[in-house]
């Protein structure tokens, strides 16, 4: 569901300027941050603005996720053109094998390599049972629990105190778990 439709269903409105303000606050003093869109590139945020408007406002580089299926070359190239037309940088692309029966996968991935003006960052294999943890488990041996990630972040921060700073950025609205940020820098303070 698009952000504007989800907000309308919930009886709220999306405040574009508040999103931008929160992004600035969350990314202040961070070397890296990722803002994930939902539902595609040209999806409405509110009644007048779309995800590209937010990317332009924030001057973000873009990583394009390409659903690998019939028509993916056309869709990816049109999206890349839209990204460029808005003055944004396409930082890379990820292939998502959403159709495990796609018979011309290799040909299409090769064409995307030739025609997209950015590097391929990886191809996610087809997943037998799509679930929240499935993409991570497909790329790694297994999905790590929240507690395991927290313990690993604490261990890294303790082992390298001169170049790291571990912060709690906030808390999950669904279960109250901490959302961490680990800054790695020659000046982590």
Beta carbons of 45 and 4 less than 8 angstroms apart: yes
Q: Is the pLDDT of residue 136 over 60?
A: no
What pLDDT score was predicted for residue 154?
A: 85
What pLDDT score was predicted for residue 124?
A: 85
Where does the pLDDT of residue 122 fall: very low under 50, low under 70, confident under 90, or very high at 90 and above? confident
For 82, counting Cβ atoms within 10 Å of its Cβ (0-12 exposed, 13-18 middle, 19+ buried), the class is: middle
Considering only residues 27 and 110, tell me which one the structure prediction assigns the higher pLDDT.
110
User: What are 182's strand-pairing partners?
Assistant: 166
* Backbone phi, psi, residue 136, to 5°: -65, -40
Q: Where are the alpha helices (DSSP H) in 69-119?
A: 72-85, 105-115
Q: Is the pLDDT of residue 138 over 50?
A: no
User: Residue 110 corresponds to which tokens in the numbers above?
Assistant: 């090769």
What pLDDT score was predicted for residue 177?
A: 81
Cα dihedral 26→38→19→186 (10° resolution) = 20
pTM, two decimal places: 0.66
Beta carbons of 51 and 45 less than 8 angstroms apart: yes
Q: Is the pLDDT of residue 144 over 70?
A: no
What pLDDT score was predicted for residue 58?
A: 93
Considering only residues 121 and 80, tell me which one the structure prediction assigns the higher pLDDT.
80
Region 140-168: mean pLDDT is 75
DSSP string, 141-168: SSPPPHHHHHHHHHHHHHH-TTTEEEEE
């Amino acid at each position: 569901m698009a952000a504007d439709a989800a907000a309308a269903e919930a009886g709220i409105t999306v405040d574009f300027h508040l999103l931008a303000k929160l992004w600035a606050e969350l990314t202040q003093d961070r070397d890296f941050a990722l803002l994930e869109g939902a539902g595609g590139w040209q999806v409405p945020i509110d009644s007048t603005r779309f995800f590209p408007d937010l990317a332009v406002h924030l001057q973000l580089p873009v990583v394009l996720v390409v659903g690998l299926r019939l028509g993916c070359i056309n869709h990816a190239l049109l999206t890349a053109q839209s990204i460029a037309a808005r003055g944004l940088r396409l930082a890379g692309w990820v292939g998502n094998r959403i159709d495990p029966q796609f018979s011309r996968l290799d040909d299409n991935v090769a064409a995307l390599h030739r025609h997209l003006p950015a590097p391929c960052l990886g191809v996610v294999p087809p997943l037998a049972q799509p679930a929240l943890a499935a993409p991570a488990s497909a790329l790694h041996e297994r999905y790590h629990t929240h507690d395991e990630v927290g313990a690993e972040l604490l261990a890294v921060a303790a082992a390298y105190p001169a170049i790291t700073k571990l912060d709690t950025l906030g808390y999950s609205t669904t279960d109250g778990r901490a959302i961490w940020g680990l800054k790695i820098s020659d000046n982590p303070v």
